[in-house]
Structure formats: structure tokens, C-alpha cells
């Protein structure tokens, strides 16, 4: 057919190559064993584990086995697409007309399911569709848009997918995701079943699932899906490439070195995301694989990218002990509701993972001292799972409010020892000293709420002899101020104000 295979085919080859290269250079990498352990450590009960994890068994697999897994995953994908969300929660959020339409759709799809079950005998032989299309909002991107890309750059890969940055039309930078032919998912499957095309299909349903979720879930902290492209590649028909918003892979080490304000922003984005996921149109969604590498940073905000391990199934139970969540440092047993569901398990799993991967590292350290008690309470309450997401969300938004409004400064001491002389339209270029955590790698550039706070900061640094009020602000609207160790060389500079310490 008239499908093109230009650059993305090159991308596939490159990713194949990269995967192979990684295998050569980077063992032990991330094998299936580790993924299973990881998922258990993420508080995932066995019943929720991906059926593909059967792949890990040592015995060589039969074709029937692979066909069953393909069908199971296909059906899962169709469930997400058709919105058979088990959802009284989902229904409560929609207006009456939409609700009636949803009921109709559900009725239709259950009819469909019924028919499917009758035909199950025949279907055991038939393979599910290789191509699943979505109705995306215009203007969406497709094969024509990625036929001529420039600046292809490898961004990262995980167990299943490889991600590249490309520039479209010489102007727009986006991320392209595809199944990694050199990745562990395909490799392990081929080792067991020896069927590259079917193994590709099995892995590609994860990408399809992610694509559907990215389309249906709309939130500032979920990466935007721009489009997708099916084309023939590596001798396989209908290979899928998704086109999405570009981010920067999350580097925890780097985050630990940034200001509290920026680290707080990451935690706040995460909590806003989890709040949305707990009340999503599909029901309460949990991210089974929650490690930091499943998220990226876009303009300082955290956004989730890897959605193929998301689940809307709340674990069923007959007693509380069925609602057991195991983590490396801590286990929890949740309540089993009268409806036979583990209460808020999806939400609580997300929240505990947020606590252990993000909050403990990012939230309390070098926070303004008056906010510290509140932050300690938040960290403790999420670490003990005492709060749900709604309470956590409200508390973080309250911290944001106190910080932005300057109310957190109310209890600070007003005893200033020194006077400062205001010199408008001037700056001090050199005379930098280092402080931590600074917005500038050479000088001491910090954000302040007002002049009073700037003076307090200068008073607390023994080197500080002056500071320069810039015209730049941070994401919360706070002013960026350069602190300086000498004030003898003040030079003209529009839009800046120098404050020179004169007494004390």
C-alpha cells in the first residue's frame, strides 16, 4: 500500500541498533525478573500483574499461548477504548445526555462481548486486529508529518519502547515512541516463542493502550498525544509510531540540586496528577510501574509519559487480608469493602509510591522554615497512608498558597541590623559568591517574596554586601535576586535595582 517508511524506518533500525548496543555495553540492564520484582515492590498484587509476565517462565511457549496473550491484551485495549470503565464514579461526572449515550455504548459493547463469547471457539484461531485507529482532535499529526523529520536524537528506552526527539518541518520538536525491536520485551518474547511478528504485535498493544489512555485522559500533567502513524517496517506490517509532546527525561540527581521552589513544583504537579487519576473519567487509575523514569519534565512541570502499566481494575477481595500491598520498607493491608473491592487501593498505591520516590527526597529539604512543620506532616501522613489523595492535594495547594502570598513570612523576625541604599537602574556584574541552592551556577541567585525577605537573606549570608533586584520572576511569581559580596563597582543597567548595605 501507499505507506511510507522513510525516517521512522531509519528510527527503527537505529533503535534496533541502540538496543543491541545497550545489550552489549550495558548488561545487566533491566530484565523481566527485575520488572516483576519491581512491580511487587510497587505494591502490586499478583492478580494485577500483566499477563505478559507469563513470558518469564522458563519453558518454551506454544503458539497457542502466544495467541491467548495476544487476545487478552487486545481485549484489554478495546476495553480502554470503549470506556467500559466499571464506573459509577465515572458516570457521576458526566451530564445526563452523555450518561445516556454512555449507557447505550455500554449496552452495545456488552452485546458485542456476548457475541464475542459465543464465537470464542472460532476466535481462538483468528488473530486480533493489528491496527487500532483513534478519532483524534484536529489538527492531529500522522504519517505525512513524520515523513520528513530532522535532528533525530535518541532520548531513552525502557523495557518495551524507544523514544526519539525529532523536529518536524524544521520547526516543531516532538517525541516519537515506538516498540524497541532491540528491547527486552521483544527479545524475551522472541527467545520464548520465536515469532517476531506476533511478539511485535503483543508489545505494540502496550503502545496502543498508552496511546488510548493519553487520548482519553486530558490533564496538564499528562503528556499530550499529537498523533500516530501505522506503517510497514522491519518486514512487519502496521508498525505503530506515536507522536507526542516532548519532555526531558527526569534526572533525580539533578532535581536534588535544584531549589526547594522547583522541587515543590514537581511534588505539586505529581499530586495534581494523582488527584486527577483518582477521579478520572475512566475511574480510579493506578500506575503499576511508578519509578521516576516513567515521568518527564516539561517547562519545570512533571508529566507522566509511560502509561502502558496503568490499570483501572480495583482489586477484588473477600477479606481485608486480600487487600495486601507490599513495598520494600513497608506493608499495608487496606479494607475490603462490602462490594468486595479493596477500598481506594489504586489511589493509595499511587500515593505511597509518590511518597517513597518523590516526597521524602524533594519536599522537606531546605524548605522555608515556617513551612517545614506542614511539610513534615504531609510526608509523614502519606508515608503512613493516613491521608487519601484529596486531603494530600488540599494540603499541598495550601502550602502553595502560603508560599505565593507571602503569608509564610508573617512569623519571621523583623530585627534588621543594617540599612540598605536603593540605587535604581544599576547592577553589580561581578562580585559573585556561591550559595546553595542557587538559580545560577556561578553566583548566588535566589527567589524572594519581597524586599524584606531579600534583606533577611542578605543578613543571613556573612559575605553579602549588596543585592541586585532583577526583572525576572519564578513560576510562583517570586522575584529573582542576585546577592553580591562587594558593592564598589555599581554599573548602569536598565530594569535592575541595586541595594547596597550601608551600616552594620
Ligand X SMILES: *[C@@H]1O[C@H](CO)[C@@H](O)[C@H](O)[C@H]1NC(C)=O
Ligand Y SMILES: Nc1ncnc2c1ncn2[C@@H]1O[C@H](COP(=O)(O)OP(=O)(O)O)[C@@H](O)[C@H]1O
Residues in the site for ligand Y, rule: CB under 6 A? 155-161, 163, 175, 223, 244-247, 249, 293-294, 296, 305-306, 308
**CB closer to ligand Y out of 261 and 306:** 306
User: Checking phi first, is residue 78 left (phi over 0); if not, alpha (psi -120 to 50) or beta?
Assistant: alpha
The span of 289-297, 323-331, 339-347, 437-445 binding ligand X (CB under 6 A) equals 323-331
CB–CB of 45/315 below 8 Å? Answer: yes
Check whether the bond before 273 is cis (ω within 30° of 0). Answer: no
Query: Least distance (Å) from ligand Y to the CB of residue 190?
Result: 16
Q: Does 158 bind Mg ion (CB under 5 A)?
A: yes
Q: Does 150 bind ligand X (CB under 6 A)?
A: yes
Q: Does 495 bind ligand X (CB under 6 A)?
A: yes
What would the grid cell of residue 155 be?
Answer: 532520548
Please choose which of ligand Y, ligand X, Mg ion, none residue 218 contacts, taking the beta carbon within 5 to 8 angstroms, the exact cut-off set by kind.
none
Q: Does 183 bind Mg ion (CB under 5 A)?
A: no
CB–CB of 371/403 below 8 Å? Answer: yes
Q: Does 168 bind ligand X (CB under 6 A)?
A: yes
**CB closer to ligand Y out of 165 and 478:** 165
Please choose which of Mg ion, ligand Y, ligand X, none residue 186 contacts, taking the beta carbon within 5 to 8 angstroms, the exact cut-off set by kind.
none
**CB closer to ligand Y out of 159 and 449:** 159
Q: Does 370 bind ligand X (CB under 6 A)?
A: yes
Tell me which DSSP letter residue 440 carries.
Answer: S
**Which is the catalytic residue, given 50, 185, 198, 289?**
289
Q: Which residue has the cell 554586601?
A: 465
Q: Select from 76, 191, 70, 82 the least CA-distant residue to 130.
A: 70
Distance CA 362, CA 366 (A): 9
Tell me which DSSP letter residue 128 carries.
Answer: P
The span of 24-32, 166-174, 234-242, 309-317 binding ligand X (CB under 6 A) equals 166-174
Footprint on residues 31-90 left by Mg ion (CB under 5 A):
none
Q: Does 342 bind ligand X (CB under 6 A)?
A: no
Q: Does 491 bind ligand X (CB under 6 A)?
A: no
Query: Least distance (Å) from ligand X to the CB of residue 471?
Result: 4
Q: Is 289 labeled as catalytic in the residue annotation?
A: yes
CB–CB of 13/236 below 8 Å? Answer: no
For residue 289, how many other CB atoms are within 10 A of its CB?
20
Please choose which of ligand Y, ligand X, Mg ion, none residue 168 contacts, taking the beta carbon within 5 to 8 angstroms, the exact cut-off set by kind.
ligand X
CB–CB of 229/11 below 8 Å? Answer: no
Could you tell me the CA-to-CA distances from 500 to 417, 470, 487 in Å, in that order?
Answer: 14, 14, 6
Query: Least distance (Å) from ligand X to the CB of residue 351?
Result: 12
Give the residue ranges of DSSP H helices in 83-161: 88-92, 96-118, 120-123, 143-146
Residue 470, CB-side half-sphere exposure with 13 Å CA sphere:
20
CB–CB of 52/66 below 8 Å? Answer: no
The span of 226-234, 288-296, 401-409, 458-466 binding Mg ion (CB under 5 A) equals 288-296
Query: Least distance (Å) from ligand Y to the CB of residue 295?
Result: 8
What would the grid cell of residue 396 be?
Answer: 499541598
The span of 29-37, 62-70, 329-337, 414-422 binding ligand X (CB under 6 A) equals 329-337
Nearest 5°: phi and psi at 112?
Answer: -60, -45
Q: Select from 413, 261, 475, 453 the least CA-distant residue to 467.
A: 453
Q: Does 380 bind ligand X (CB under 6 A)?
A: yes
Query: Least distance (Å) from ligand X to the CB of residue 94?
Result: 32
Distance CA 455, CA 464 (A): 10
Residues touching ligand X, count (CB under 6 A): 25
Q: Select from 466, 470, 454 the least CA-distant residue to 500.
A: 466
Give the residue ranges of DSSP H helices in 315-357: 345-354
| Stretch 390-419: interaction string toward ligand X, x if CB under 6 A | ------------x----xx-xx--------
**CB closer to Mg ion out of 294 and 392:** 294
User: Which residue sits closest to ligand Y, CB atoms considered?
Assistant: 158
Q: Does 210 bind Mg ion (CB under 5 A)?
A: no
Report the interface residues with Mg ion, using CB under 5 A: 158, 294, 306
Residues carrying an active site annotation = 289
Name the residues that contact ligand X, by CB under 6 A.
141, 145, 148, 150, 168-170, 172, 326, 329-331, 370, 380, 383-384, 402, 407-408, 410-411, 471-472, 494-495
Amino acid at each position: 500500500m501507499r505507506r511510507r517508511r522513510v525516517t521512522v524506518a531509519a528510527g527503527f533500525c537505529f533503535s534496533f541498533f541502540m538496543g543491541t548496543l545497550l545489550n552489549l555495553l550495558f548488561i545487566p540492564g533491566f530484565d523481566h525478573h527485575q520488572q516483576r520484582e519491581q512491580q511487587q515492590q510497587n505494591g502490586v498484587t499478583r492478580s494485577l500483574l500483566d499477563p505478559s509476565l507469563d513470558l518469564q517462565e522458563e519453558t518454551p511457549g506454544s503458539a497457542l499461548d502466544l495467541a491467548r496473550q495476544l487476545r487478552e491484551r487486545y481485549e484489554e485495549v478495546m476495553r480502554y477504548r470503549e470506556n467500559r470503565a466499571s464506573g459509577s464514579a465515572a458516570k457521576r461526572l458526566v451530564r445526563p445526555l452523555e450518561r445516556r449515550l454512555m449507557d447505550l455504548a455500554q449496552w452495545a459493547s456488552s452485546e458485542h462481548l456476548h457475541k464475542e463469547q459465543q464465537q470464542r471457539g472460532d476466535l481462538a484461531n483468528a488473530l486480533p486486529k493489528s491496527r487500532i485507529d483513534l478519532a483524534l482532535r484536529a489538527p492531529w499529526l500522522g504519517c505525512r508529518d513524520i515523513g520528513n523529520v530532522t535532528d533525530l536524537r535518541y532520548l531513552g528506552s525502557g523495557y518495551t519502547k524507544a523514544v526519539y526527539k525529532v523536529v518536524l518541518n524544521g520547526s516543531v520538536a516532538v517525541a516519537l515512541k515506538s516498540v524497541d525491536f532491540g528491547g527486552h520485551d521483544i527479545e524475551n518474547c522472541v527467545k520464548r516463542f520465536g515469532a517476531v511478528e506476533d511478539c511485535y504485535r503483543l508489545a505494540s498493544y502496550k503502545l496502543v493502550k498508552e496511546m488510548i489512555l493519553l487520548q482519553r485522559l486530558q490533564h496538564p500533567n499528562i503528556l499530550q498525544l499529537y498523533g500516530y502513524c501505522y506503517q510497514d517496517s522491519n518486514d512487519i506490517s502496521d508498525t505503530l509510531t506515536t507522536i507526542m509532546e516532548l519532555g526531558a527525561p527526569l534526572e533525580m540527581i539533578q532535581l536534588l540540586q535544584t531549589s526547594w521552589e522547583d522541587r515543590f513544583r514537581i511534588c505539586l504537579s505529581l499530586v495534581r496528577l494523582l488527584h486527577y487519576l483518582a477521579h478520572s473519567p475512566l475511574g480510579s487509575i493506578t500506575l503499576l510501574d511508578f519509578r521516576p523514569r516513567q515521568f518527564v519534565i516539561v517547562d519545570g512541570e512533571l508529566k507522566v509519559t509511560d502509561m502502558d502499566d496503568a490499570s483501572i481494575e480495583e482489586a477484588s477481595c473477600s477479606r481485608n487480608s486480600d487487600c495486601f500491598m507490599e513495598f520494600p520498607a513497608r506493608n499495608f493491608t487496606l479494607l475490603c469493602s462490602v462490594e468486595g473491592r479493596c477500598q481506594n487501593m489504586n489511589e493509595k498505591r499511587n500515593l505511597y509510591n509518590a511518597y517513597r520516590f518523590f516526597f521524602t527526597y524533594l519536599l522537606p529539604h531546605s524548605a522555608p522554615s515556617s513551612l517545614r512543620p506542614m511539610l513534615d506532616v504531609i510526608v509523614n501522613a502519606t508515608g503512613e497512608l493516613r491521608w487519601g489523595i484529596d486531603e494530600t492535594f488540599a494540603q499541598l495547594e495550601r502550602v502553595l498558597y502560603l508560599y505565593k502570598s507571602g503569608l509564610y513570612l508573617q512569623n519571621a523576625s523583623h530585627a534588621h541590623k543594617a540599612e540598605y541604599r536603593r540605587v535604581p537602574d544599576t547592577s553589580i556584574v561581578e562580585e559573585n559568591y556561591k550559595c546553595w541552592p542557587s538559580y545560577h551556577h556561578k553566583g548566588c541567585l535566589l527567589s524572594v517574596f519581597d524586599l524584606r525577605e531579600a534583606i533577611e537573606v542578605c543578613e543571613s549570608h556573612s559575605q553579602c554586601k549588596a543585592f541586585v533586584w532583577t526583572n525576572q520572576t519564578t513560576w510562583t511569581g517570586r522575584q529573582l535576586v542576585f546577592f553580591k559580596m562587594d558593592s564598589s563597582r555599581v554599573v548602569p543597567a536598565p530594569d535592575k535595582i541595586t541595594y547596597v548595605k550601608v551600616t552594620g
